[in-house]
Amino acid sequence: MTMNLELKGRVVLITGPAKGMGEAVTMAFADEGCRLALVGRDTTAIEPVAARVRAAGGEAIVIPCDITDERQCQGAAERTLAAYGRIDVLVNVAGGSGPIGKTGWETSQKEFNEIVTLNMTGCFNTMRAVMPTFAAQRYGKIVNVGGTFGMRGRAGRMAYSASKWGLRGITKSFALEAGPFNVNVNCVAPGMVEGPRFRGKVVPEMARRLGISEEAAAERHAADYALRRVSTGEDVANACLFLASDASRQITGVDLPVDGGWAAL
C-alpha cells in the first residue's frame, strides 16, 4: 500500500531488511520510491528482497555488515554515500529475541551480553555512522525498531527487555543531541508481530509452558491486546514510513507502540 508521504528519491539505509518484519519495512519504503541500502550479515537472505525491489523498478544495493562491528557500520554508511551521494533515513530493524522463558537468574551472562550487544550496541553503531552526514546536511531521520517489552516489564524475557529499555534511552538522548541539526530520532515499538519468530519460537514456548496447543497460545497472545489481534509486519512498516517522513517533522524522541493496545493502555 503506497501512502504517498513524499519520500520518493530519499536514500534509506535499512538494517535487518529481509527477515520477519524487515522485509515488510523494505518493501514499504520501496513502494514509496525510496533508494535503498540494505544492510546485514545474511546477504543470501537480503539479495532476493533487493531483487524484488529492482524488479518493481526501484533502486537497492546490498551491503554486507555485522552491525555489532563499529568499523563495518562506518563502511556501510560510506558505501551508501558512494552509491547515492547522501543518506536521508536510517531504519534500524536488525535485532534478536534473546532467551525466551528463562528467569533473570537462569539467563547466562553470555546470553545477556549477546542480545544487549545486538539490540543496543548495533543501533548505537549505525546511528554514530550516519550522524556526521545528517549533521552536515542538516537533515536526517532515524527510526529505531524497539519493542513493547522495553515499555513494560515481561517475565521470562529479562535480557530482551533490558536491551529494548536501553534502546529507548539511546533514542531519547540522541534525539536531544541531534535535534539542533534538524534530525529526528524516534522509536517504533512493535508488540508481537506475526511471522516466523512468533510462530516458531514464542508460540511454541508458551504452548509448552502452559500445556496448551500452539493455536490456543497464539490466541492468548492476541487476547492481551485491546484490538484482540497480533500486529503484522506491514503495521510496523507503516509506522516507520510515518516517522521517516516530513509528516512527522515535529515529532522526536517518542516511543510509538504498534501493538493493538497493550503497552500504553
Coil vs helix vs strand at 254: coil
Is residue 160 annotated as a catalytic residue, yes or no? Answer: yes
Which three cell numbers, joined as nine digits, stand for 72? 563495518
Rounded CA-CA distance 232/213 in Å is: 22
Query: Which residues, including other chains, have CB under 8 Å from residue 215's CB and lie 6 or more apart?
Result: none
Residue labelled with grid coordinates 530520532: 185
From 84, 139, 160, 225, the catalytic residue: 160
Give the length of the chain: 265
Show the beta-strand stretches assigned E in 126-251: 140-145, 183-190
Rounded CA-CA distance 74/200 in Å is: 33
Residue labelled with grid coordinates 492481551: 224
Rounded CA-CA distance 214/211 in Å is: 9
Residue 13 β-bridge partners: 37, 90
Rounded CA-CA distance 21/15 in Å is: 11
Rounded CA-CA distance 34/143 in Å is: 15
Rounded CA-CA distance 240/229 in Å is: 20
Q: Which residues are catalytic?
A: 160
